[in-house]
Structure 1
Amino acid sequence: MDWDTHRYFECFFAVPMLGAVLHTVNIRLAPAQIAYTIDHAEDDVILVHADFLPLMEEVMPLVKRKVRLILLRDDPAQDPECSFDFVTSYDEMMAGPATDFEFPDFDEGTRATTFYTTGTTGEPKAVAYSHRQLVLHTMGLLAGFGPIETSNRLHRGDVYMPITPMFHVHAWGFPYAATLLGIKQVYAGRYTPANLLRLIAEEGATFSHCVPTILQMLLSAPEAADTDLSRLKMLIGGSALPRGLAESALAQGINVYTGYGLSETCPVLTFAVLDPDDEADVEARLKTGNPLPLVDLQTVGAG
């Protein structure tokens, strides 16, 4: 339970590589629902940022299983008060002596991560992802986005900064793709418009992704008028991109376009592929686009 940080990024790799399952807790659920997902996923260890301790004060009394807690904090001197104990803190673990660890070899079908959606009815619904699924999704992303340095593609010259929560389907899988590309990555922590715009400018971010409401938040921020966004490529998903919002983003210099996917598909299925002739075509940017390589997609009519 953390903001978008390097710690979360490290857990994306370290936990599954141990042979354990990474449960990216959906912090937007109600306390009772979070407790349900902790029990349902059979969590043993929970890493909790100090900012979420007030939330955990409501969650922990509802959790039925015994769990161990590890504290995450931005300042090692921070000693927050709470009603439960931590076995250690993340920074204390990192400060300990380095040890050799032989990562186990296991079947590619082994479960690597799990995430809970809100669910249309009843309790939150679990979606699990195997090591094979994560690898194939990463390969599909790079095959679809990364072959050439043009238009809206992700390539080895980019600086990547996600603005999709890392708890939500691995920030759409792009941290894995960015790592395979070996490109610079920027993790913003807690989302505030001023901080996001500052990092885009200072770190030279060129590729990101978010939902329409976050894009609207960025464009509406007072700092946006003084921030150069002309190098930023922005993939929009989660809901349809309104034409007016796309036009506002283009006016700010953002290369904005649409993708489509589902939590159950890890998640990206399609994205709008822009040829040079499409650059000025707003409608082309609003289309769900073409399937990624390795995606078998069937389109059917209503009924």
Structure 2
Amino acid sequence: MLGQMMNLPLTITNIMNFAETVHGSSEIVSVTADNPDHHYTYTEAFARTRQLANALAKLGIEQGQCVGTLAWNDYRHLELYYATSCSGMICHTINPRLFLEQLEYIINHANDEWLFIDVMFVPLMETLVDKLPNLKGFVVLTDPAHMPNNSSLPNMICYETLIQGESSKFDWPELNENAASALCYTSGTTGNPKGVLYSHRSTVLHSYTTGLRDIFGLTMHDVVMPLVPMYHVNGWGLVYTAPMVGAKLVMPGPAMGDGEVLNRLINDECVTFSAGVPTLWLALLNFMQQAGTSVPTLERVITGGAACPQPIFDTFREKYGVEVRQAWGMTEMSPLGTFNTFKPHMHNWTETDKAPVRLKQGLPVCGVDIKIVDSDNNELPWDGQSSGSLKVRGPWVIQRYFKADSDATDSDGWFETGDVATIDPQGYMMITDRNKDVIKSGGEWISSIELENTAMTHPQVAEAAVIGVYHEKWTERPLLLVVPQPGESPLPDELLSYFKTKVASWWIPEACEFLQELPHTATGKVNKKELRQQFNDYRWPDHGE
């Protein structure tokens, strides 16, 4: 027997209509190349979204077609998100920081016919346009006064000109909740990037969950500043969850890595909540410490995308009164899989007892099942010690990559994440490494992430990475790579001695090398593939032989 409730589809259109009807006066603030201080309301935003939908129809774009975007976090990109998806098109967000070959592959693989691009990406597209045979034209996200001159891009249209004069009335189509809504490609660290095609249903369910009190906990009283790029995994869904609850949005545009601008936006707009990768929090903290400023309205920040160093937790909490929480997920998971929040009995713990819990990636969120397995696919216990390959499943987890011939899941419907993890008896998951990054020394596994977290607690270390390098005796040994804090000159032996009593003696890196900066991937993670190539022929110091 089936239930007898209404069977209305879960679509992004419902989020948009609700936000406009119930929270129309909530504000959206943006930094753009043509306006560093743009303000308008949800009502105004979605009126322009309907104008854009009419313009998209006149361009001849049909339901099911991909519309590419190369854009920062701002109001025009938000309009594109809703106009494309709610029209039945697919919002294909493209990471402009990828290699040219990857951009070429992604745009052609998605069969994008129109690209909506920020002004600063016009030169980038000029280098690629001859290799994009399916493209019909470009829409530059600016006003007429800021359109680039003498560009070689064919059929280049100004965004504001495109929507000017269009009606603010549009009959949104009734969509199947399983219809595709957005497309995001993985960074492609091995082979070509892979497309992850999200549905309206998966996006709405993901938004409901992230809004829960024990997850992001957003309300209409919050002011939300997404530092997660909207070109990566739908900005962690914040551009859906914030309108769903009526929160004010603050969009930093191309300034998301500028600590000074972020500090100003937080204080001018009274930001209470933000989310981003650890490198962005380091930029903000470094600026505030140098400038002697603060962020009195900021209550909590979410960090993810890479393991968060303990100093970020401690500095935000102790110096600025800001609570930092870790989240974990993947492009293939929309992205949220786990979120770190304390259970009730932990609130009375000392900070010393809380610290190890903070460093874990957290509890699985309702809707995502997780498990760890050994090399024979046997499920391992949640004892906090057993380490295995992490698998996930859920209604917003990928089943098949875009245009792939077979499912991405195993025969039981589980997706292999590529992470190595432990899960403790209370359900807290901790990533100990990526399968490709784990170090095997003398037949035993060493967690590069735990070594990096330890190194980052040293006051003279700004950033650290650990990679495995060939060793004649032990097959592989960990090499510590450090970017010192400005003005600091730590000694290698001093940093290596710092690990004593903090990790097992045989885990201690064999040597330490200093770099001016670490390479990062297009999504802000340390690029260990590049580091391994750089140190492929590394010779260990004599004392390590």
Name the CA shift for 1:28/1:154 in 2 (closer, same or farther; >3 Å): same
Q: CA deviation at 1:270?
A: 1.0
CA contact (8 A) 2:218 2:245 kept: no
Residues 205-264 of structure 1 show CA distances to partners (whole Å, capped at 9, x for unaligned) of: 111111111111111115652132463311110111111222122223221121111110
Report the structure, 1 or 2, having the larger helix content.
1
Q: CA deviation at 1:127?
A: 1.0
Residues 250-303 of structure 1 show CA distances to partners (whole Å, capped at 9, x for unaligned) of: 223221121111110100111111354368433332221212222222234426
Find the aligned partners of 2:349 and 2:85 in 1 and give their Cα distance.
Answer: 40
Q: CA deviation at 1:144?
A: 5.1
Find the aligned partners of 1:134 and 1:51 in 2 and give their Cα distance.
Answer: 29
Where in structure 2 are the equivalents of 1:52-67 lying within 5 Å?
52-67=121-136
Name the CA shift for 1:103/1:87 in 2 (closer, same or farther; >3 Å): farther
Name the structure 1 match of 2:223: 159
Which gives a bigger RCO, structure 1 or 2 (Cα 8 Å, sep 6+)?
Answer: 1
**Letter of the structure 1 residue corresponding to residue 128 of structure 2:** V
Name the CA shift for 1:224/1:136 in 2 (closer, same or farther; >3 Å): farther
Name the CA shift for 1:92/1:22 in 2 (closer, same or farther; >3 Å): same
Find the aligned partners of 2:173 and 2:350 in 1 and give their Cα distance.
Answer: 47
2:148 aligned with 1:80: yes
Q: CA deviation at 1:13?
A: 1.3
Find the aligned partners of 1:257 and 1:270 in 2 and give their Cα distance.
Answer: 11
* Equivalent residue for 1:140, pick from 209, 213, 226: 209
Residues 169-218 of structure 1 show CA distances to partners (whole Å, capped at 9, x for unaligned) of: 01111221111001111111112221111100100111111111111111
2:287 aligned with 1:218: no
* Equivalent residue for 2:371, pick from 294, 298, 301: 298
Count of aligned pairs between the two proteins: 297
2:291 aligned with 1:236: no
Find the aligned partners of 2:162 and 2:300 in 1 and give their Cα distance.
Answer: 37
Q: Give the TM-score normalised by the residue count of structure 1.
A: 0.91
**Letter of the structure 2 residue corresponding to residue 130 of structure 1:** S
* Equivalent residue for 2:111, pick from 42, 45, 65: 42
> What percent of counterpart residues are identical?
33
CA contact (8 A) 2:86 2:173 kept: yes
Q: CA deviation at 1:26?
A: 1.1
* Equivalent residue for 1:180, pick from 240, 244, 252: 244
CA contact (8 A) 1:143 1:293 kept: no
Q: What SS does the aligned partner of 1:138 have?
A: helix
Where in structure 2 are the equivalents of 1:120-131 lying within 5 Å?
120-131=189-200
Deviates more, 1:291-300 or 1:53-62: 291-300
Q: What SS does the aligned partner of 1:173 have?
A: helix
Name the CA shift for 1:298/1:200 in 2 (closer, same or farther; >3 Å): same
Name the structure 2 match of 1:267: 335
* Equivalent residue for 2:320, pick from 237, 252, 269: 252
Find the aligned partners of 2:250 and 2:144 in 1 and give their Cα distance.
Answer: 21
2:159 aligned with 1:90: yes
Q: What SS does the aligned partner of 2:325 have?
A: strand
CA contact (8 A) 2:211 2:217 kept: no
Name the structure 2 match of 1:116: 185
Name the structure 2 match of 1:149: none
CA contact (8 A) 1:12 1:22 kept: yes
RMSD: 2.0
Name the CA shift for 1:103/1:224 in 2 (closer, same or farther; >3 Å): farther
Name the CA shift for 1:278/1:225 in 2 (closer, same or farther; >3 Å): farther
Deviates more, 1:289-298 or 1:276-285: 276-285
In structure 2, list runs of 5 or more residues that go unmatched. 1-69, 374-386, 390-545
CA contact (8 A) 1:272 1:288 kept: yes
**Letter of the structure 2 residue corresponding to residue 172 of structure 1:** W
**Letter of the structure 2 residue corresponding to residue 176 of structure 1:** Y
What stretches of structure 1 move > 3 A for 4+ residues in a row?
A: 274-280
